Amino acid sequence: MATSATSQNWKKKPWLEPRPMAQALHIAKETLFYDDSFRQFKHQSKRKKSILGLQYIFPIFDWGFHYTFKFLWRDVIAGLTIASLAVPQDLGYATLAHLPVVHGLYSSFVPPLIYSVLGSSRHIAIGPVAVVSLLLGTLLTNELPYNINGKANPQYLQLALSATFFAGVFQAGLGFLRLGFIIDFLSHATIVGFMAGAAITIGLQQLKGLLNIPTANFTTKTDIVSVLRSAFQHTYQWNWRTIVIGLVFLGFILLTRFLAHKWKKLFFLSAIAPLLSLILATVFTFHYRLENDNVAIVKDIQKGINPSSAHQLIFSGSLVGTAAKIGLVAGLIAITEGIAIGRSFAALEGYHIDGNKEFIAFGVMNLAGSVTSCYVTTGSFSRSAVNYNAGAKTPVSNIVMALTVMVVLLALTPLFKYTPNCILASIIMAAVVSLINVRAAYLIWKVDKFDFIALLGAFFGTLFISVEIGLLIAVSISFVKLLLTVTRPHTALLGNIPGTKVYRNVNQYKDAKQVPGVLAIRLDAPLYFSNSNYIRERILRYLHDEQDNVALSANGLPVQYLILDLTPVINIDVTGIIALEELETALKKKNIQLAISNPATSALEKLANSGFIERLGQQWVFLTVADAVQGCVTREVFLLM
């Protein structure tokens, strides 16, 4: 199996040859970079390579070759179903971002078409989402007012489109650089807390539309105290008609969702309920001319598909940095939600989602969206769930949805003129209820209390301060947990399971017995600069405690050998090696011999190259803890003879 060159390289390290450990490492080194799938790809014909490369870049050429009429029928039904949900949601979500409602419809036209070609998820539905819309609106209003003297601020729209452009740049750039792992720094617990806090914040923001309070009189802050204060300070502007309309249709939408949850075959009721509510509320308002009773309506929506908005992007001046900052934050939150949703449905259907490819797909679709009057889009949980339940088989459902939205833009937007704002508020309130995952929060509480604290931090930060502060708290807590895990890794005192050669954690296995005179410790993490001092001190503390126990015992034996099980130590750096050298020196002063067992290939090579193995002695490197204990006991018996 081994090549001659490789064999020669290993023969330059004679201390590896005679021991079983060396044989195991020899095999590991030979197979470490062996990749059968890559070798098969390497020997494919140029034509086959071109096809595989094309399928990798454009997944549509993969599933498209196997597309059938049966798939088309299901995708059309799913696409029309999610379009019925997308249209009313798009109108509402645009108001969260303080943008003209037509931009919500634009955002469900171009981006889904781009994703259907580049995306690897078969069930995710693309469009604006509540959390990103609220976050974008909050960040934008911190920089510019969206209204000036009752008219839309043109710079506000330019900043929104520019932020979308930079969101696409960051997303695609991270994908090309294969840095998709960055989103994994946001833990599940912090995402659950942030989403729940944002959901309540979004719901409370809709009091403006539900109570019929003019936008100019309502606070732009998102914390619960400011929103409730603003709502109750303007009770004289409340309109009982909008409250009744909003609550009736909110109850209707939630009822259909409950029925769909109880009887899965009725999922379509939940899907069409928002559109049906929108139509009924619009007809009711128009018939009774409720706008004359101060019921706020959407008014005119621009008809047709807007031409290129590339000329509105900001690439110079003081707002460029602001647009880039907002785009980075909104883009990361959007991709986090989108990939989480895509992976969830991929797991249900047994296929794989490539995170880096998704970064590129989301990035390109937002880049394209920024020049076609769209704002930041991602995968929508509510639409994706409807898409999945409707039987979607491929991203063609996104194409059908986009074409349906196009028809709405070209012909039907005048029909929404009399749509009351209160119905949009009700649709958003109903949509964000699903973002509050009480079951997940309870599970996190049961499993990990520190994770639950992270959840609470993100939740209360979002709810009582602001969306961006809640997000910052979520990220900070995730990093704190990561740092604690890295700098304070787990270690275990090992004992022998009677009747076997197995050594396990004595705190976990009560039958495990320590060998007199031998202290075996397992290090459960790589040995780096960040944790080496802690691990060294932790080992010496184990030794001190053991010596105290021996002093109190009548029949105890002093520790003469300390064995480090390095099986989990997949890597080690210079600081870690220095820590082991300092440990070995400290043990020698106490007349205690250090031994190591089963370090990984990379760690063992570094220990050898640094001279640590030669310093320790080749005879003190073992394949298993059992071998190390046997070697120590045998040597002790030999010395006593």
Q: What is the mean pLDDT of residues 125-137?
A: 93
Q: What angle, rounded to 10 degrees, do the helices at 224-233 and 188-205 form?
A: 10
Q: Tell me how many helices (H) and strands (E) the chain has.
A: 28, 10
pLDDT digits (tens, 9 = 90+) for 592-614: 999 999 988 888 899 999 999 99
Residue 640: band (very low, low, confident or very high) from pLDDT cuts 50, 70, 90: low
Q: What is the mean pLDDT of residues 338-352?
A: 84
Q: Is 498 exposed, middle or buried (0-12, 13-18, 19+ CB in 10 A)?
A: exposed
Sequence-separated (6 or more) residues with CB below 8 Å from residue 246: 209, 210, 422, 423, 425, 426
Average pLDDT over all residues of the chain: 85
8 Å CB contact between 223 and 464: yes
Q: Supply 526's token pair.
A: 């790589």
Q: Supply 544's token pair.
A: 């001190």
CB atoms within 10 A of CB 365: 28
Torsion of CA 319, 322, 327, 332, to 10 degrees: 170
Cα–Cα distance for residue pair 249/256, rounded to 1 Å = 11
Residue 557: band (very low, low, confident or very high) from pLDDT cuts 50, 70, 90: confident
Cα–Cα distance for residue pair 59/357, rounded to 1 Å = 10
Please tell me whether residue 339 adopts helix, strand or coil conformation: helix
Three-state SS across 140-184?
Answer: HHCCCCCEECCEECHHHHHHHHHHHHHHHHHHHHHHHCCCHHHHH
8 Å CB contact between 351 and 122: yes
Percent helix, percent strand, percent coil in the chain, to nearest 5: 70, 5, 25
Residue 47: band (very low, low, confident or very high) from pLDDT cuts 50, 70, 90: low
Amino acid at 631: G
> Which domains does the chain carry?
67-483 (no CATH), 491-640 (3.30.750.24)
**Residue of 211, 202, 85, 185 whose CA lies nearest to 136:** 202
Cα–Cα distance for residue pair 143/153, rounded to 1 Å = 12
pLDDT digits (tens, 9 = 90+) for 94-123: 999 999 999 999 999 999 999 999 988 989
Sequence-separated (6 or more) residues with CB below 8 Å from residue 596: 563, 564, 566, 607, 616, 620, 621, 622, 628
Q: Please tell me which residue, 273 or 18, carries the higher pLDDT value.
A: 273
Amino acid at 65: F
Whether 407 has a pLDDT exceeding 60, the answer reads yes
pLDDT digits (tens, 9 = 90+) for 212-237: 998 778 888 888 999 999 999 989 99
* Predicted local confidence at residue 22, as pLDDT: 46
Give ∠ CA 570-576-577 in degrees, rounded to 5. 100
* Predicted local confidence at residue 558, as pLDDT: 84
* Predicted local confidence at residue 636, as pLDDT: 65
* Predicted local confidence at residue 389, as pLDDT: 85
Cα–Cα distance for residue pair 578/109, rounded to 1 Å = 59
Cα–Cα distance for residue pair 401/89, rounded to 1 Å = 13
406-427 residues labelled b (16+ CB within 10 A) or e (exposed): bebbeeebeebebbbbbbbbbb
* Predicted local confidence at residue 15, as pLDDT: 38
Cα–Cα distance for residue pair 142/140, rounded to 1 Å = 5
E strand or H helix at 593, and its extent? strand 593-597
Q: What is the mean pLDDT of residues 531-560?
A: 78
Sequence-separated (6 or more) residues with CB below 8 Å from residue 202: 96, 130, 131, 134, 428, 432
E strand or H helix at 50, and its extent? helix 46-57
* Predicted local confidence at residue 12, as pLDDT: 44
Amino acid at 288: Y
8 Å CB contact between 572 and 526: yes
Residue 178: band (very low, low, confident or very high) from pLDDT cuts 50, 70, 90: confident
E strand or H helix at 523, and its extent? strand 518-523
Please tell me whether residue 302 adopts helix, strand or coil conformation: coil
Amino acid at 566: L
Q: Supply 628's token pair.
A: 């190390």
pLDDT digits (tens, 9 = 90+) for 408-454: 999 888 888 899 999 999 999 998 888 898 999 999 999 988 889 88
8 Å CB contact between 583 and 538: no
Whether 62 has a pLDDT exceeding 90, the answer reads no
* Predicted local confidence at residue 20, as pLDDT: 45
Cα–Cα distance for residue pair 624/566, rounded to 1 Å = 10
Please tell me whether residue 492 adopts helix, strand or coil conformation: strand
* Predicted local confidence at residue 21, as pLDDT: 47
* Predicted local confidence at residue 639, as pLDDT: 57
Sequence-separated (6 or more) residues with CB below 8 Å from residue 173: 363
Q: Is 70 exposed, middle or buried (0-12, 13-18, 19+ CB in 10 A)?
A: exposed
Residue 150: band (very low, low, confident or very high) from pLDDT cuts 50, 70, 90: confident
Task: Phi first, then psi: give them for residue 379, nearest 5 degrees.
Answer: -80, 135
Residue 379: band (very low, low, confident or very high) from pLDDT cuts 50, 70, 90: very high
Cα 639 from chain centroid (whole Å): 58
Q: Flag the least confident range among 76-90, 304-318, 500-514, 547-561.
A: 547-561
Q: Please tell me which residue, 182 or 487, carries the higher pLDDT value.
A: 487
Q: Supply 343's token pair.
A: 């992976």
